Structure 1
Amino acid sequence: MSRLYGDPIEVWTRDGEPTQFVWRDRLYLVRSVLDHWVVAREWWKTGDNDPGERQFWRVEASPGREVGSYELRYDTAGNGWLLLRAWD
């Protein structure tokens, strides 16, 4: 079962991939990247000449012993990360 969040998070990366993130004051270590995809943003909806893109990462991560799956999103135009979804 998954839950939607859309919470801003702080993410550390190595070679462009997330390695750890802080969500709700807890540090999560990324154990593996399960999937990665990129979606171009529509310039006609944003009005920008360079609307950027959104990079999605589905990762397996843990703040301790329990491991879960999380979907992270990086918006290149806004230079910000969100935790979009978490699976139990």
Structure 2
Amino acid sequence: MSRLYGDPIEVWIRDDRPAQFVWRDRLYAIRQVQDHWVVAREWWKTSDTDPGERRFWRVEAGATTGVGTYELRFDTASGGWLLLRAWD
């Protein structure tokens, strides 16, 4: 079962991919990237001249509480990261 969040997170990058992130004051080490995809933002729905793109990562990550699967999103226009979804 998955849960939707949309929480801002802090992410560290290594070799052009997320290596670890902090969510709700816990550090998660990414063990495996399961999937990665990119979606171009719809320019007609933004006021920016460069609407950027959204980069998604489905990862297996662990903290002291165990291992889970998480979906992360990076927005190139804002430079911000979100944790979108988590699976138990």
Bucket of the pairwise TM-score, normalised by the shorter protein: over 0.9
Identity of aligned residues (%): 77
- Counterpart in the other structure of 1:49: 49
- Quote the Cα distance in structure 1 between the aligned partners of 2:53 and 2:28: 25
TM-score by length of 1: 0.97
Mapping of 1:40-79 within 5 angstroms?
40-64=40-64, 66-79=66-79
Any unmatched runs of 5+ in structure 2? none
Q: Name stretches of at least 5 consecutive residues in structure 1 with no aligned partner.
A: none
Residue 24 of structure 2 corresponds to residue 21 of structure 1? no
Measure how far apart 1:10 and its partner are: 0.2
Count of aligned positions: 88
- List structure 1 segments (4+ residues) > 3 angstroms apart after TM superposition: none
State TM-score, norm by structure 2: 0.97
What is the match of residue 4 of structure 1? 4
In 2, Cα distance between equivalents of 1:33 and 1:7: 20
